[in-house]
Structure 1
Amino acid sequence: MKNNITIIIVLLFVLCSCKRETKSKIINNTISSSVRISFDSITQIESLKILSSDSYLGRETGTKGAELSRNYIADKFTALKLDKLGGSYFQSFPYNGSNDHGDVKEGLAYNVIGLIRGREQSNKFIVVGAHYDHLGTSGKKVYNGADDNASGTAALFSIATYFKENPPKHSIIIAAWDGEEIGLLGSQYYVNHPIILQKDILCNINMDMIGRSEKNELFITGTPHNKLLMDSVVTSLYSNKIKILTGHDGDDREDDWTYSSDHGSFHKKGIPFLYFGVEDHKDYHKTSDVFESIQQAFYLEATRVVIQATKRADECFTR
């Protein structure tokens, strides 16, 4: 998440003695309406624990850890009976790039993509995604990436389960992206080599780091770019457990997250997006980003909010 695009950006961040506050808006919707969203929280937590374990070797693109991860995700999709696009859950693409450890060798990377067909307008799609890759290992140290982004990946399974049990009006694509840490490569490849027509994608909902927040805050980025998503989706979201805020996408461009994760690939193509995430914490891109640091109550509530948003998006695009 929040890739360092240039050395200059990194230096500016280091030279700042304190983090600038971003302008944000609290979504204070006190009407819970009939929101009743349930899922198997124990299974979701277990999936996060597995993906962020040492056995998965930090899930770096092009490594054994990435292979183990994508096979685990595909097995979950199979168990959920998600449909396949193009006859396979895997979309391979060539890559080269760099992450916090330096250059990454060229090779093949793999998005993992499943489909839940809509009951009314199955030819229109909402893409719900999260990247599953992380930084791998350095010597004997493992960068487990529990929050970044095993949290978003494991949440995909609960979201898929919910919409399998509560069929949407439009089709929903469940996508686990590879290569985010080396330049949003998986999502970029997807939008440039679409399995479905770009004009049929209604919006992208992206999760990247939703597992913890010292301030109990979940941010939603993207609302200034699409009034429909703000008015019909975001303002309807409800939680009495966590704070839901919009921000990090204002005209002042301070700490702007518009292109910080895979939603940026969709935005470049003019596709509306909502990004759910938290502000950077002390364990971001460190070996201390481990399962034990996940705030489970916050994480599960954040997942419920994302399901709410996906459900509302499905409803609002029908109008």
Structure 2
Amino acid sequence: MKNAFYLICLLITLNACSQKINNKAVLSDLKELSDDKYEGRKTGTPGNNRAAQFIIDRFKKAGLFSYYADYKQPIEFKNKAGETINGNNIIGYIKGKTDKVMVISAHYDHLGIKNGKIFNGADDDASGVVAVLAYADYFAKHQPNYSMVFAAFDAEEMGLQGSKYFVAHPPVSLRNIAININMDMIAHNDKNELYACGTFQFPHLKPFITSSNHKPNILFGHDDPKTGHDDWTYQSDQGSFYAKNIPFIYFGVEDHKDYHKETDEFQNINQDFFVGSVNTILEIIKNIDKNYVAANRVREDIIMD
């Protein structure tokens, strides 16, 4: 009986270790979300609405809870021309073992159609959204310590409008949001380099940014002005969280030849790099979640509610 008990424990352990992201599924999702039928996913367009519905369907399939009707947090803002633009953040969540919240995010909008050309934004940022979907599915099946909010933000390309609206009208108290993990462009790099930004501002998070492999290599920078790199702190949706003094880690790649061009297509990403990025970021999220007490070293009194 004792041997049988040890065998059962071993099988459970091995099964837990083998639980990973479905690599074929994430590639299939990326190909889907960067398809022409979504018309470049520009905020306020039918193509953007179709992309939102794709994300909603996946949230439902994963069994996420919703704060809003059909996962949609409506947003409204003025564009540079003074026109009113309406869009939707797509927000789902799962309850963790604590009330502290990790927001895992990416933006699903892109540039739309220009001069008859569709800007599909496979890397920017269908790649990040697909990762959010994969993590929603994973943590819905494996309860984390943090309560996790999965956010597909709209209107990032129009000035981080979706994430700005989210932190201005949060579905949970900002005091309970311990960290934002944001992903914007994680599928296209020829040098196997993925940057993790935010450890300059929040060095207590750096020990958790480790991976069991080097696919991709995780580099630091683009947040420390002394490095000479461009400062990415406010260049994607993590900037909205940092403006509220909420710690963040942002994963992304340096600009490539297809950045903000109609050639940012599924066939031009680095598939092995993308799959590696999704799995590596999951490992890092799990590191942070496992060590959530140490990762929560945040001065709550400076977080604006």
When normalised by structure 1's length, the TM-score is 0.84
| Greater RCO (Cα-Cα under 8 Å, separation 6 or more) | 1
Provide the secondary structure at the position in 2 that maps to 1:115.
strand
How many angstroms apart in 2 are the aligned matches of 1:97 and 1:218? 32
Q: Which residue of 1 aligns with 2:101?
A: 125
Is the 2:95–2:146 Cα contact (8 Å) retained in structure 1?
Answer: yes
Q: How does 1:77-88 map to 2 (within 5 A)?
A: 77-88=59-70
Q: Which residue of 2 aligns with 1:68?
A: 50
Is 1:51 matched with 2:33? yes
Q: How does 1:1-319 map to 2 (within 5 A)?
A: 38-98=20-80, 103=81, 105-118=83-96, 120-121=97-98, 123-231=99-207, 233-234=208-209, 236-252=210-226, 254-319=229-294
Structure 2 unaligned residues grouped into runs of 5+:
1-15, 295-305
Provide the secondary structure at the position in 2 that maps to 1:167.
coil
Question: Which amino acid in structure 2 is aligned with residue 248 of structure 1?
Answer: H
Provide the secondary structure at the position in 1 that maps to 2:223.
coil
User: CA separation of 1:138/1:259 partners in 2, compared to 1, >3 Å: closer, same or farther?
Assistant: same
Q: 1 or 2, which has the higher strand percentage?
A: 1
Kindly name which structure, 1 or 2, has the bigger radius of gyration based on alpha carbons: 2
- Bigger drift between 159-168 and 74-83 goes to 159-168
Q: CA deviation at 1:96?
A: 2.4
- Bigger drift between 302-311 and 126-135 goes to 302-311
How many angstroms apart in 1 are the aligned matches of 2:222 and 2:18? 29
Structure 1 unaligned residues grouped into runs of 5+:
1-33
User: CA separation of 1:92/1:144 partners in 2, compared to 1, >3 Å: closer, same or farther?
Assistant: same
Q: CA deviation at 1:87?
A: 4.6
Question: Which amino acid in structure 2 is aligned with residue 279 of structure 1?
Answer: E
Q: CA deviation at 1:151?
A: 0.6
Q: CA deviation at 1:104?
A: 8.1
Is the 1:39–1:161 Cα contact (8 Å) retained in structure 2?
Answer: no
- Percent of residue pairs bearing the same amino acid type: 41
How many angstroms apart in 2 are the aligned matches of 1:35 and 1:222? 28
Q: Which residue of 1 aligns with 2:5?
A: none
Q: Kindly tell me the number of residue pairs found equivalent between the two proteins.
A: 278
How many angstroms apart in 2 are the aligned matches of 1:230 and 1:88? 36
Is the 2:145–2:292 Cα contact (8 Å) retained in structure 1?
Answer: no
When normalised by structure 2's length, the TM-score is 0.87
Provide the secondary structure at the position in 1 that maps to 2:233.
coil
